Homo-oligomer: A and B are copies of this chain.
Amino acid sequence: MTVIAACQLALAVGDLAGNARAAESAVRDAAARGAQFVVLPELSNTGYVFTGPAEARALAAPAAESPALRQWRCLAEELDIVIAGGFCELGTDDRVYNSAAVVDGSGTRALYRKAHLWDTEKLIFTAGAATPPVTDLGFARVGLMICYDLEFPEWVRLAVLAGADVIAAPVNWPAHGPPPAGERPAEIIRAQANASVNAVFVAVADRCGAERGTDWVGGSVIIGPEGYPLAGPADPGKPMVLTAACEFLLARNKATSPRNDVLTDRRPVLYVDLHTAR
């Protein structure tokens, strides 16, 4: 069993020092509770609601020099854990990316640039041009994607076809008003379905702390391969560290009946239009 943590953080745009303190505190809390793998939110170093491209660019740093990635590496080495989180990246191509990384004591194990951009992100960031990376951490193979990417079941499936046992998803889910009475926010329902149809774990780290008029779902959650939460959903609006003990090897068994397997039951030959349409 491996303990995984999803950290819901209160962040503030532009407050690099304060955001770094919030991340460190949550990571130390998670490690103290036995977590070996810790997920932080999207853009966890900078905050999200930029005034425009100039502000994001001013706060971005190359992955090789990112203070956030350096911090995660130091914490990962000290605490003997692995951290996945989102940060604001200045590419070597001088473009700004909404990125995420998987970092352990040896350094950056995977780097990912968000491929499906939400709303004003399209004015600020360049979309990534690569599929989600899958990194073998020994205790699990981790697929990495960011927020709106989760709304494309194609994207989660690609990570699972590439071997992911768990999807680590840094998010900043903007709130669009409360869901209907008695309903979970659709963001969480979609994450549950992603876990269920792929028989994988999904760990979502959301954020809280209203920012320039935007509030957040605050729906951090750790979901098991049957699609049900193992921890969370978090209380909206409240920073918290969710942990769950996961048997990640369960995700290697895709059988759902004596004659069914969620991957080999696919009919890829019939799926050609997913690749060619539009």
Contact = CB atoms under 8 A, between A and B. Distances in A.
A233 to B, nearest CB: 11
A260 interface: yes
Interface stretch (A43-51, A88-96, A192-200): A192-200
A3 interface: no
Given A153-B193, A180-B228, 9 more contacts: A116-B267, A120-B259, A152-B266, A153-B197, A189-B193, A190-B193, A263-B278, A268-B278, A271-B274
A158 interface: yes
Interface string A127-163: 1011100000000000000001001111001100110
Contacts of A65: none
A78 interface: no
Given A267-B116, A275-B268, A196 B186 contact: yes
A106 interface: no
Interface size class of A (residues with CB under 8 A): 35 or more
Contacts of A229: 183
Contact of A183 (B118, B127, B228): B228
A85 to B, nearest CB: 23
Contacts of A194: 193
This protein's copies in its complex? 2
Interface string A97-141: 000000000000000000111111011000101110000000000
A262 interface: yes
29 contacts: A115-B267, A116-B266, A118-B260, A119-B259, A122-B259, A127-B267, A131-B273, A151-B196, A151-B262, A152-B265, A153-B154, A153-B193, A154-B157, A154-B274, A161-B274, A162-B273, A183-B228, A186-B193, A189-B192, A189-B196, A189-B227, A190-B193, A190-B227, A192-B193, A268-B275, A268-B276, A268-B277, A272-B275, A274-B275
Nearest to A157: B274
Contacts of A269: 275
A138 B129 CA distance: 39
